[in-house]
Structure 1
């Protein structure tokens, strides 16, 4: 794994990162004349804590210190704020979708036969919202319930359907509980670089229940040699983060000339990922 692996939104990693982010926001809002005492009051921390954060921001080159309490956010500091804010926006958007707090009608796959106005339980399967008929799930005898799993979120069906059909659901309550997936990235050298990793390196990492995505001609050629039929072949830079945020583990084969574009998108989307060195993994 490289030192950028398993990345989540940085400002949520720990309290110190979150506080440093908030201090930089306050400096940007108050510059050039900045009162550390006022920032401490807004954040609910001590002036000494703010002083420590400011010193670290100055050392990192995110803030430039002038005389008599004058501070200015540098270009690097602005870029850092933008990157972390974008990651937070993606994260908040995903959480909002998971909570299902709106009154909008959404689509779900019926696990059991569902009638209009039935209360249904909601689960996430293979990255897709599914609906379980609550009455069927609670019936232990005399029924044909196809699912007995417990659900932590419910909704009301606005359209009915048989098992396997898409139905409309609304009046959401609770949270659909599932863990976001992890993206395993295997860089594939472009044709002008070293030889591609062996087929065995790839096939050993393919999970029967995982998704495989490819990006680049060299990655496609390696997948075909390994007998792998990818679920995601086009638009991977956007599709892979969405698949992971919906709970799917993804194996991403990506040509090295496209690697940075994909890892940047994964970071900004708040997706955990691991980059493996295919040369080091050669059998």
Structure 2
């Protein structure tokens, strides 16, 4: 990181970078850009030529040598590593939310949990600052200014489906099952067991199937409601996991024989 500690090296990096980016640039252009006097920029160029970092093409115009390219590459890489670590550190204290309405960078905003996600909207007395601009529904990066209420655990409704030996998906009252889904449009639907998967598909719902138990648990911890459609022989395993995680649930059955 010597390039940040030495004014000479910092200016050297800027000059070489300009020559790489703009091959037709000259001393006068660079002096004007960095607000340097002709005498000062001339001294910098003289040192760069003497040390082999640049060479003269014709009067006032220069190109970067291989030595200069290697020096620039090394120092830019060091700067990249430094800035990347710094950005990660800063962003680790930030939150990504979904914009509710249009938001501009530096707007004061309020952010909150809803249905398992964090939302943000403009609010002059809010609890955060927008670090990026976003249109309604877009992702927005926010800087928290104060704490906010963590999400309550999402409601879990467990729907029992008979095992195939007891009739499987054929033994479901689909009128009641369909009504439950329609009455809870924001709840995530997961299916545990093939019989449960088929039951969902019969009412034209494609549930989360692979990793469904883990999704159920994680979604509830984030405040999202879940309808867990579960084959009866797999029910005990699911309930043990929910109890271990401290999650509340209720069990319903739409068995035609119930």
- Tell me, yes or no, whether TM beats 0.5: yes
Matched, 1:214 2:188: no
CA distance in 1 between counterparts of 2:120 and 2:138 reads 10
What is the CA-CA distance between 1:163 and the residue it aligns to? 1.9
CA distance in 2 between counterparts of 1:178 and 1:104 reads 18
Gaps of 5+ in 1: 1-101, 139-150
The Cα RMSD (Å) is 2.6
> In the comparison of the two structures, how many residue pairs are matched?
164
Match 1:187 to one of 160, 176, 194: 160
Matched, 1:205 2:194: no
Q: Alpha-carbon deviations, 1:69-125, whole Å to 9, x = none?
A: xxxxxxxxxxxxxxxxxxxxxxxxxxxxxxxxx961220011132222322101223
- Bigger radius of gyration among the two: 2
Higher RCO (CA 8 Å, separation ≥ 6 residues): 1
Matched, 1:111 2:100: yes
Gaps of 5+ in 2: 1-90
CA distance in 1 between counterparts of 2:158 and 2:191 reads 10
Matched, 1:160 2:133: yes
Match 1:275 to one of 251, 254, 257: 251
Q: Is the 8 A contact 2:163 2:232 kept in 1?
A: yes
SS of structure 1 residue aligned to 2:160: strand
- Please give the TM-score of this superposition, normalised by the length of structure 1: 0.51
Matched, 1:174 2:147: yes
Q: Is the 8 A contact 1:103 1:171 kept in 2?
A: no
What is the CA-CA distance between 1:278 and the residue it aligns to? 3.7
Matched, 1:243 2:219: yes
What is the CA-CA distance between 1:254 and the residue it aligns to? 0.9
What is the CA-CA distance between 1:198 and the residue it aligns to? 2.4
Q: Alpha-carbon deviations, 1:184-214, whole Å to 9, x = none?
A: 1112122123443222241232223333221
Match 2:206 to one of 221, 229, 234: 229
Q: Which residue of 1 aligns with 2:123?
A: 134
- Please give the TM-score of this superposition, normalised by the length of structure 2: 0.56
Q: Which residue of 1 aligns with 2:238?
A: 262
What is the CA-CA distance between 1:242 and the residue it aligns to? 2.0
Q: Is the 8 A contact 2:106 2:132 kept in 1?
A: yes
SS of structure 2 residue aligned to 1:174: coil
Residues 1:171 and 1:209: Cα distance change in structure 2 (over 3 Å): closer
